[in-house]
Amino acid sequence: MSRGRGFTARQRAYLLSLPAVRSVGAVRIRYSEGFREECMRRYGRGESPRRIFSDAGLDPEIIGAKRIERCIARWRKESGVDPPGRVPGGAVRGEVRDGSDFGARLDALERDVKALREAVGI
């Protein structure tokens, strides 16, 4: 997709030939319900959005990488699906957001490492 110009007639014809696509306008794609469900199922298992869309014939070079990001964000919000390692709101499990408990977390990890070393005799 050319920036700001929409899809060409050839691109629209190609996109309409894909089972993942319900309809295509000059600048908008509507996806089939089945594709959306499959997309969220695979995303929930940890597959990358780019891979999921590419496997369906929706190459980022044609539809745009930003469109893929926005679709995933919108569908995640609607479905509540988060990939493994993520918690609602987008934080990675165990991620320190504001740094306030970094020191305490580091101390706990150092204690764990020390205990493990003693247990294995290192």
Q: For residues 81 and 43, is the Cβ–Cβ distance under 8 A?
A: yes
Is the model's pLDDT at 63 over the cut of 70?
yes
**Least confident segment among 3-7, 68-72, 74-78:** 3-7
Is the model's pLDDT at 33 over the cut of 60?
yes
For residues 5 and 101, give the distance between their C-alpha atoms in angstroms, rounded to a whole number.
Answer: 48
The pLDDT, as a whole number, for residue 107 is 80
**What is the average pLDDT value for the chain, to the nearest integer?**
84
Q: What is the mean pLDDT of residues 97-104?
A: 63
Domain assignments of the chain as residue spans, ordered by start: 9-91, 98-122
- SS3 of 61-115: the string is HHHCHHHHHHHHHHHHHHHCCCCCCECCCCCECCCCCCCCCHHHHHHHHHHHHHH
The band of 100, judged by pLDDT with boundaries at 50, 70 and 90, is low
For residues 31 and 37, give the distance between their C-alpha atoms in angstroms, rounded to a whole number.
Answer: 10
Q: What is the mean pLDDT of residues 28-51?
A: 93
Q: For residues 52 and 83, is the Cβ–Cβ distance under 8 A?
A: no
